[in-house]
Structure formats: C-alpha cells, structure tokens
Amino acid sequence: MAAYGLYTHIASNKFRSMLLLAGLFLLIYVLVFAGALVAEVVLNSGASLNYYLTRASRDLISALPYATIIAALWIVIAYFFHQNMIDAVTGGERVTRQQQPRLYNLLENLCISRGITMPKLKVMDSPALNAFATGLNRRQYSITVTSGLLQALNDQEIEAVLGHELTHIRNGDVQLMVIAMIIAGVVGFFGELFFRTFTNLSWNSTGSDWSSSSSSSSSSSSSSSSSDRGKGGGGAIMAIIIAVVLILLAWLLSQVVKLALSRSRELLADAGSVELTKNPDAMITALRKIENRGELPGATSAVMELCVDNPREGFADLFATHPSVDRRVKALVQFAGGRDPGPLALPSDTADEPESEESSTEQLQPPVPPGPWSDASEPAGVPGARSGPLDGPWGPHR
C-alpha cells in the first residue's frame, strides 16, 4: 500500500522540477553576462573592474531578448527533431505487432488497462539490458527497449519495465527530462563558445592589455601611463576570472539540476510500475537482471540518463543520474512488499567463461577401456557408453 503512497510526492516533485527548470533557463543569462565581460575586456583592456561589471550589465539587458530568442529557437528545433537525433545515436527502429507480437501485446494491455494512449514502440539491437522513453507530447512519445532485454527477461519482468517507462510518460518525467537536456545543451554550447573565444585571447608583452591573437598589436594606446596600464590590467584580469568562474558555475549547476530531475523520479517510476502491474517482485527481478548490464555502447550521457538504469557514475555519487539498484529494490521491498532475491546471474554471464582446468583435463584424456573383471561403467557422454553393468568374458559382472 505504501507503494501507492509514494505518489503523494508527485505534485511536489513536479513543482520543484518546474522551479529547477526555470532556474536552469536563467543560467543562459548568466552565460551571456560572462560573455559580455569577456567582450568588454577585449574591446577595452585598460579599464577598471567596476567599469567592466557596469558595461557587462548593460550588455546583458540589451542582449536579453536575443538570448531568449536563440534559446527558444534551440528548444523549437529540439522539440521537432530530438527523437530523430536519439534514434540516430541508438539505432532504435519502430516495430509493429507483426514484428514483435509479444512486446506489442504487453505494452498494449498496460495502456488499455489504464486508458493511456499507446506510445510508439521501438527496438534497439544491442546485447545490453535497458529501456528508455522519449517524447514531448502524445504524438511523439515512444518506448525503446534493447534486444538483449527481450532475451533476458520473462514476460512479467518486461511488463514491469514497460510500466516503469509508462509511468515516466504519465507523470511528465520524460517531457521535463528532455527539456532539461535541451537547455543543458544550450548552456554547454554557449559555455564552449565562450571558452573557445577565451583561449584565442593572448596577454601581450606589456602585461596590461587583453588582445585577440588575430588583432594588430597597434591597438594598445602608446599614450597610456604605466600606472594606468597596471590598474587596467588588474581590472581586466579580475573580469576574466569572474567570467570563467561564472561559466564553470553555470555548467556545473546545469548538470546538477539535470541529474536531480532524473534521480528524483526513478523511485516514483518503480512504484508506478507496481501500480500498473500489481507485481512488485517482477520489478525487483527486472532491476536485478538489468543491474550492471545496461551500458549502451556509443550512447551519449543524455541518452543514458533516460534509461531504466544508468551504470555510469560520477565521483562521490554526485553525478550518478539514478539511485543505486540496491536502494531502489530496498524501497520496493519496504513499501510494496516485494521480495529481493539478491544479485542475479544470467546464462550469458557464464557462457563465455573458460572451463575449469580439471574439467578440461578430463575431456582431453581418452577413456580407459575397462578390463574383463572391471565393475566401472564407461564415462557418461562417451560414444558407446553403457548405463548398466559391463559384461565380462563369463557374462554380466555384478
């Protein structure tokens, strides 16, 4: 019953997510301000820090509409083409009922039972065990599963994974995650652009002027006094340091916010799967089978953040996009009454293991023919082997 109680947190989580998303959008303006600082230093390298901050603030106000339009245009492009980009990275292909009747029927039954519009169904050819949902509206929603998942999980476990992804769609998690990824992409793009601009700047021989590596050295004023240049140089250095710190802070916060959106929803999606399937054990065993087997080769970090499980972890769990499988299973056991079988080994895990030295030696040694009075049976599996007693020269030996 407590599994259903987890849904009391959905409203507050969605509200917090919207606030985080709005904060992430504001990071774009922080980057614009940082870029304005760099631009002012390039245009006038002999001013004070207060001058740069004042001018950058004015530049931010002037550039605010343009920055908003560019960010909105980026979002519009991603809105219509993000699914194509994800499919190009993962190789997912849409399947029909005729191609995947088992998978199609499981998803259709879940959707019919809750009156949910059925999303598109796609299969990715990969031995990894994983699945993810994408889309920004009902016409775009799709669920992609790997071929390895279909082979390793039974029907109840696959149904639980599909229920997990349907819950992400029902709760709006997929929409928020995709938007957060888009805006984080904008932050990353502007951050890289500013850093490239910054690395193209060089400190000239006077130690006081910032100039572009492609500009003429005659841009510096020969009439400036050495004390003014020193003061201006100090202000320029401080302005550049502030710009670099702001860019790093914006990027770091964009990643942290994006990861927080993902981590806060996995437990709810697990609980939602239990609500749809009424089978907590299936969700638990599915997680145990997927555990440490979900790495999608060639997939970007953005795609992995959408998956049922993301094995890619950062330092001190700061950049881990998903709670650990142990934590998720513990929640299902505690709140949904499931049973944890512990880590599960799959047949594929031992298929490629080398045979033990003892067994290899036994197979290499030829069978020893029994003597006339031997009561040993021939080794099992050897052509011509018998399961009964061997016949000696005077009849069956007992």
CA distance 325 to 95: 29
Structure tokens at 280: 């907590």
Catalytic residue among 40, 157, 165, 305: 165
SS3 content of the chain, % helix, strand, coil (to 5): 60, 5, 30
Q: Give CA–CA dist 197/210, Å, rounded.
A: 12
Residue 165 is among the residues annotated as catalytic for this protein: yes
Q: Are 329 and 292 in contact (CB under 8 A)?
A: no
CB 322 within 8 A of CB 309: yes
Amino acid identity, residue 202?
Answer: S
3-state DSSP assignment of residue 131: strand
Q: Give residue 100's identity as a one-letter amino acid code.
A: Q
Task: Please give the angle made by the CA atoms of 319, 255 and 318, to the nearest 5 degrees.
Answer: 20
Distance between first and last Cα of the chain: 65
Pairing of strands 120-124, 142-146: parallel
Contact 312, 295 (CB under 8 A): yes
* Residue tagged 């606030």 (tokens): 19
Active site residues: 165
